């Protein structure tokens, strides 16, 4: 008879039976790992002489050991390292032996997973085949001693084993952190420390060895170099602990999409912000109709990417990995459908080029409500989803909603940030998904599993509790092969952001980001109810509570309980609920919408509030996008996208992380999203100008990372350094322009910023240059970035710093201090008909003048320097080398700018040349006229000297 409650062999799954003397077989006396004698003998015969659990060698066991024991001595007494309740439940349910075995295997697998994570799964995989064959022999052997019915009950059925495997798969991790290997990271950190020490010695030498004959030049260079070193520290140390992450989408499916059960995956709201024109509305009508055919086609054949324009334009073998015979025929038909759809949209675009005098009218003849873009009501139209059409196969499509918020004169609409906040409120009323994906209108989904990648973090109960958003890197199409203007930003996305992921997470960059809705509502993370400041700040302090968080949570709990009690009353009055919400002061935070407030109080989203009348949802959605809804609320101040800067993305992410949230950086092998970038020089500089102006605005606001929430204990100090770097980098333009001007001045005057070098000074300079090179090489080694991307990044740092960043500093101060506003338009990103045609287009802008001036004066300086050296003899060539090298350093960094300035036909706008030559000439004439380095000699002394010579 099988013994009730007896332990099971962890290899074959059968019970460990007692021998005649009442004892069980023990294979390992260190951990008492449950394994029967037959399985143990098989392990020994296979050459595996160590315990599967603890790795301890079996003592006193050989291949022939214990063969003379009684055949019934197949089991051994063990200690079950489980919860007493678990053991008790197994004993009480011992009648169902199959169920007992399934539960036991599941419990053991969780314990053993820790061992397999450390030692790897290779040992288990190698032994699986032998265990399967051995299991059959063991069954035949036990059939003689065990009745047939009981033997069948002892062996779990295929269905039970499938349930066990499903349970084990659901317990597997959804993601893992993969640290950079020490062999790459340790040398990198060492060189950073060495470089810091060399910098200290270098500045000691520079300060203690002034150049008396060119003191103003020397002092200027010292100030610039100190600022550059400070900027390097801000940029370098947040990259101290970079990490990689790996997701397991198959484990996500095993945990939340079990066969025979409804999907447990959370819903996600997609936000795409674009102009609310009638053309957009009409094109969405056509898009919704095309989606009814396109979506089933993509699902059937696993199409990637899902954007039809980019899928059909791919220059690849589209038949690769396709095995369905009908694919070619259906693809041809779908391509024809798409081309017809494009023709219809092109007709709309052509029609929209000329606006009628009386304004646009809709198909039913009524005037378009948005004819005046600055004064129109709110508009909402649901195309697909619960009340819309289904696809051609009858399946429900995701809800597609057109939203245009109300705009009236005298009301601030806050541009993109205001539009995103309106979408947050509308989605809360209509769908209320717990997560939100934000995409720019010029981006598309390149990886259909991108959202699942994010869910591996956000839906993980251990990782996702404190995650405010998952940021994906930006990838671009249509960039020239050499990436002349560093449009890809590879160094930032592949180096800096991975470094931040090892601290408190990457910054929000405005697109390609999946948000936790609760984080947007201004709540603190669940684990931050009691936070010790010493865990985040440099100095220890007592544990403290977030008073606002505690107060808000208390009000929230009271309100939820009160609403629940009201629902239990038969004569439930909607007015009572509205009054209750108002009394709890939530209207001061979220606005005058009881439906939205109730949705905001739902922990995990999950659809519109139960108390909301479906017929009134659209009306309520119109209400929450009215132009005056945000007045006297916390929208744009503490909740939603934060106002106050044109770079609302940096500000929004910064506020979340100051509350204690962390973010995640997800880099799947196939880029999640792709977009277009302005490859034209003028447009690229205007884009950089906008980013830099936003940083200056944050620097001059109350949200400046230098002091905002400095005592809150929620933002780690390395993370704060990174945010400080994002708001001070435009100010580097001032020392950068001055430093790039120094070579020309030195060549024109014959002076230099460095005195004659001694042996020690030569070693310091050589060590500094080598440390800079080695740091870059080791950074490329662990990040995988190529040297060309690094060089392009360095070049555009000089180009942008001498033009866009410089203008941003002055415009930022004018805007914040004098109230002079600067209006920006969305950067044009459409290319010409020819490949990279936009790259060669030159547009006049004042941003082109400063870099052009720097190039001209440095070229003039090089010519003047060589002329002086030719006239000065052999001794003049030595000092000339350092000055010319300095000048060519500037010219080489500005070379992409010079190349772009020439255009396709090497033609530069005349106005740019005139202004640059004029500025360079005026600068040279003034400098020669008031040369401060010429020694002033008394005229009488000159006369006496001349007389003496004549004598």
CB atoms within 10 A of CB 839: 22
Phi, psi at residue 922, to the nearest 5°? -60, -40
DSSP per position, 135-178: HHHHHHHHTTTS-HHHHHHHSPPHHHHHHHHHHHHHTS-SEEEE
- Specify whether 269 is catalytic: no
415 is in an annotated binding site: yes
Secondary structure of residue 77 in the 3-state scheme: coil
- What is the total residue count of the chain? 951
CB atoms within 10 A of CB 806: 23
Distance CA 25, CA 12 (A): 15
Distance CA 592, CA 418 (A): 17
320 is in an annotated binding site: no
- Specify whether 649 is catalytic: yes
327 CB burial (10 A radius; 0-12, 13-18, 19+):
middle
375 is in an annotated binding site: no
Distance CA 768, CA 779 (A): 17
Cα of first residue to Cα of last residue in the chain, in angstroms, is 136
CA atoms within 13 A on the CB side of 583: 10
CB of 274 closer than 8 Å to CB of 405: no
User: Which DSSP letter does residue 467 get?
Assistant: E
Please state whether beta strands 513-516 and 435-440 pair in parallel, antiparallel, or not at all (unpaired). Answer: antiparallel
335 is in an annotated binding site: no
Q: Could you tell me which of 80, 133, 125, 135 has the C-alpha nearest to residue 103? A: 80
Secondary structure of residue 72 in the 3-state scheme: coil
DSSP per position, 94-142: TT-HHHHHHHHHHHHHHHHHHHHHHH-SHHHHHHHHHHHHHHHHHHHHH
Whole-number Cα distances in Å, 187 to 369, 467, 495, 770:
63, 31, 16, 14
241 CB burial (10 A radius; 0-12, 13-18, 19+):
middle
DSSP per position, 185-216: HHHHHHHHHHHHHHHHHHHHHHHHS--GGGHH
Radius of gyration of the chain (CA): 36
Q: Where are the beta strands (DSSP E) in 562-604?
A: none
429 CB burial (10 A radius; 0-12, 13-18, 19+):
buried
Q: Could you tell me which of 344, 416, 402, 346 has the C-alpha nearest to residue 369? A: 402
DSSP per position, 507-560: PP-SSSEEEEHHHHTTPPPGGGSEEEGGGTSSS---EEE-HHHHHHHHHHHHHH
736 CB burial (10 A radius; 0-12, 13-18, 19+):
buried
503 CB burial (10 A radius; 0-12, 13-18, 19+):
buried
Place of tokens 């799947």: 668
Catalytic residue among 274, 364, 442, 460: 274
804 CB burial (10 A radius; 0-12, 13-18, 19+):
buried
Secondary structure of residue 675 in the 3-state scheme: strand
Q: ∠ CA 763-765-768 to the nearest 5 degrees?
A: 105
Work out whether the CA dihedral 247, 251, 256, 260 comes out positive or negative. positive
Q: What is the dihedral of CA 751, 756, 760, 761, to 10 degrees?
A: 10
CB of 19 closer than 8 Å to CB of 70: yes
CB atoms within 10 A of CB 778: 19
CB of 805 closer than 8 Å to CB of 851: no
Binding residues for Mn(2+): 416, 440
Known binding residues for UDP-alpha-D-glucose are 274, 415
Q: Catalytic positions, please?
A: 274, 649
């Amino acid at each position: 008879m099988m013994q009730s409650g007896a332990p099971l062999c962890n290899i074959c799954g059968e019970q460990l039976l007692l021998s005649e003397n009442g004892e069980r077989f023990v294979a390992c006396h260190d951990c008492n790992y449950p394994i029967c004698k037959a399985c143990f003998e098989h392990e020994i015969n296979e050459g595996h002489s160590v315990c599967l659990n603890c790795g301890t060698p079996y003592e006193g066991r050989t291949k022939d050991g214990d063969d003379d024991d009684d055949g019934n001595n197949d089991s051994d007494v063990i200690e079950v390292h489980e919860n007493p309740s678990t053991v008790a439940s197994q004993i009480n349910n011992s009648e169902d032996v199959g169920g007992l075995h399934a539960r036991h295997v599941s419990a053991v697998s969780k314990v053993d997973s820790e061992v397999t994570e450390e030692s790897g799964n290779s040992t288990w995989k190698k032994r699986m085949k032998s265990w399967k064959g051995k299991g059959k022999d063991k069954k035949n052997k036990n059939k003689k001693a065990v009745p047939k019915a009981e033997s069948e009950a002892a062996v779990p059925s295929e269905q039970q084993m499938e349930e066990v495997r499903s349970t084990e798969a659901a317990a597997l991790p959804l993601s893992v952190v993969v640290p950079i290997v020490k062999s790459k990271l340790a040398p990198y950190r060492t060189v950073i420390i060495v470089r810091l020490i060399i910098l200290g010695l270098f500045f000691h030498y520079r300060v203690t060895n002034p150049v008396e004959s060119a003191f103003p030049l020397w002092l200027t260079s010292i100030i610039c170099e100190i600022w550059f070193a400070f900027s390097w520290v801000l940029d370098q140390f947040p990259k101290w602990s970079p990490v990689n992450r790996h997701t397991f989408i198959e484990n996500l499916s095993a945990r939340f999409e079990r066969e025979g059960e409804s999907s447990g995956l959370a819903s996600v709201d997609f936000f795409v912000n674009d102009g609310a024109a009638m053309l957009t509305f009409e094109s969405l009508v056509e898009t919704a109709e095309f989606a009814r055919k396109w979506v089933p086609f993509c699902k059937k054949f696993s199409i990637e990417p899902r954007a039809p324009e980019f899928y059909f334009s791919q220059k690849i073998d589209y038949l690769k990995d396709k095995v369905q015979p009908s694919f070619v025929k259906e693809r041809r038909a779908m391509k024809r459908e798409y081309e017809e759809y494009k023709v219809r949209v092109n007709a709309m675009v052509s029609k929209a080029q000329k606006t009628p005098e009386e304004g646009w009218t809709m198909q039913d003849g009524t005037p378009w409500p948005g004819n005046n873009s600055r004064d129109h009501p709110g508009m909402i139209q649901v195309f697909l989803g619960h009340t819309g059409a289904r696809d051609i196969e009858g399946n429900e499509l995701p809800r597609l909603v057109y939203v245009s918020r109300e705009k009236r004169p005298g009301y601030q609409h806050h541009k993109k940030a205001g539009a995103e906040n309106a979408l947050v409120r509308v989605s809360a009323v209509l769908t209320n998904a717990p997560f939100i994906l934000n995409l720019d209108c010029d981006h598309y989904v390149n990886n259909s599993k991108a959202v699942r990648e994010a869910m591996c973090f956000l839906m993980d109960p251990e990782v996702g509790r404190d995650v405010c958003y998952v940021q994906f890197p930006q990838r671009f199409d249509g960039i020239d092969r050499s990436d002349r203007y560093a449009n890809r930003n590879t160094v930032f996305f592949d180096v800096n952001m991975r470094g931040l992921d090892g601290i408190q997470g990457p910054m929000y960059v405005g697109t390609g980001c999946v948000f936790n809705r609760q984080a947007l509502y201004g709540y603190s993370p669940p684990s931050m109810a009691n936070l010790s400041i010493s865990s985040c700040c440099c100095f220890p302090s007592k544990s403290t509570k977030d008073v606002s968080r505690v107060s808000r949570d208390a009000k929230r709990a009271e309100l939820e309980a009160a609403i629940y009690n009201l629902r239990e009353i038969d004569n439930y009055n909607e007015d009572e609920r509205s009054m209750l919400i108002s009394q709890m002061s939530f209207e001061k935070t979220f606005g005058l919408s009881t439906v939205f407030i109730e949705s905001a109080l739902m922990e995990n989203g999950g659809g519109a509030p139960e108390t909301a009348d479906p017929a009134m949802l659209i009306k309520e959605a119109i209400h929450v996008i009215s132009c005056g809804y945000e007045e006297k609320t916390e929208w744009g101040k503490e909740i939603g996208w934060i106002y106050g800067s044109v770079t609302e993305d940096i500000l929004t992410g910064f506020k979340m992380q100051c509350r204690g949230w962390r973010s995640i950086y997800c880099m799947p092998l196939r880029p999640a999203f792709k977009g277009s970038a302005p490859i034209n020089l003028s447009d690229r500089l205007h884009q950089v100008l906008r980013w830099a102006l936003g940083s200056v605005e944050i620097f001059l606001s109350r949200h400046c990372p230098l002091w905002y929430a400095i005592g809150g204990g929620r933002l780690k100090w390395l993370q704060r350094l990174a945010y400080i770097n994002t708001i001070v980098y435009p100010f580097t333009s001032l020392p950068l322009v001055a430093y790039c001007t120094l070579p020309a001045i030195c060549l024109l005057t014959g002076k230099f910023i460095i005195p004659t070098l001694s042996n020690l000074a030569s070693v310091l300079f050589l060590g500094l240059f080598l440390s800079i090179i080695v740091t870059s090489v080791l950074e490329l080694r662990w990040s995988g970035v190529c040297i060309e991307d690094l060089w392009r990044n360095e070049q555009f740092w000089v180009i942008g710093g001498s033009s866009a960043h410089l203008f941003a500093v002055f415009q930022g101060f004018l805007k914040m201090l004098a109230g002079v506003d600067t209006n920006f338009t969305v950067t044009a990103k459409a290319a010409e008909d020819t490949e990279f045609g936009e790259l060669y287009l030159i547009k006049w802008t004042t941003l082109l003048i400063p870099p052009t001036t720097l190039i001209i004066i440095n070229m003039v300086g090089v010519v003047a320097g060589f002329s002086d050296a030719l006239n000065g003899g052999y001794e003049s060539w030595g000092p000339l080398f350092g000055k010319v090298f300095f000048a060519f350093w500037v010219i080489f960094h500005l070379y992409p700018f010079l190349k772009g300035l020439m255009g396709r036909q090497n033609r530069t706008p005349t106005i740019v040349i005139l202004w640059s030559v004029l500025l360079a000439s005026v600068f040279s004439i003034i400098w020669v006229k008031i040369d401060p380095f010429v020694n002033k000699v008394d005229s009488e002394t000159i006369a006496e000297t001349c007389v003496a010579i004549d004598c």
